[in-house]
């Protein structure tokens, strides 16, 4: 294991997106860890559109992890849907539960804002991510063939924050 055993969770600080200078610091980390390339416009779309739903983990004033997402009304269901677009923790800081903390902070923010559900996609081969999301209550909803540029399949996962029937009845 190549993580620093002296790192304490209380030494890791979490903040929301605040300014453009954070973008060049996260792009290489995300590019290195996720299979899909993202343009600067993708980052701007999420970070400027939903800055309070972009949460950064800092250790010694360096960004070591991030979750980026959004909340909007789903076209078909009318439900308030959160979406996790990206979540990454640098390799040497994994297995410290930082990814879990980032995901939980995102979930809590979506709940605070009246979200009904949260969705995301992850590669079917990313077993660590699947275990994390399933332990947080996400369920596999759909397998999408050849979803990624690599040709890998993805699973769409969903976390229901309210009973789908209650939410549907409210929107009628």
Three-state secondary-structure class, residue 110: helix
Q: What is the pTM of this model?
A: 0.88
- 83-136 pLDDT, tens digit per residue, is 999 999 999 998 899 999 999 999 999 999 999 999 999 999 999 999 999 999
CA distance 12 to 22: 17
Residues near 98 by beta carbon (within 8 Å), at least 6 away in sequence: 12, 57, 64, 65, 89
**pLDDT score for 172:** 43
**pLDDT score for 70:** 98
Q: 9-171, what's its fold? A: Aminopeptidase (3.40.630)
């Amino acid at each position: 294991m190549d993580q620093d055993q002296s790192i304490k969770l209380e030494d890791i600080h979490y903040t929301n997106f605040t300014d453009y200078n954070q973008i060049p610091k996260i792009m290489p980390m995300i590019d290195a860890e996720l299979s899909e390339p993202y343009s600067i416009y993708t980052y701007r779309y999420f970070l400027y559109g939903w800055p309070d739903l972009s949460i950064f983990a800092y250790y010694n004033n360096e960004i070591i992890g991030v979750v980026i997402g959004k909340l909007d009304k789903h076209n078909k269901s009318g439900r308030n849907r959160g979406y996790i677009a990206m979540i990454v923790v640098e390799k040497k800081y994994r297995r410290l539960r930082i990814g879990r903390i980032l995901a939980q902070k995102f979930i809590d923010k979506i709940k605070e804002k009246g979200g009904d559900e949260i969705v995301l996609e992850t590669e079917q081969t990313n077993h660590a991510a699947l275990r994390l999301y399933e332990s947080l209550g996400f369920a596999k909803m759909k397998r999408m063939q050849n979803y990624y540029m690599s040709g890998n399949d993805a699973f769409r996962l969903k976390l229901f924050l309210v009973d789908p029937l209650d939410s549907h009845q409210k929107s009628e």
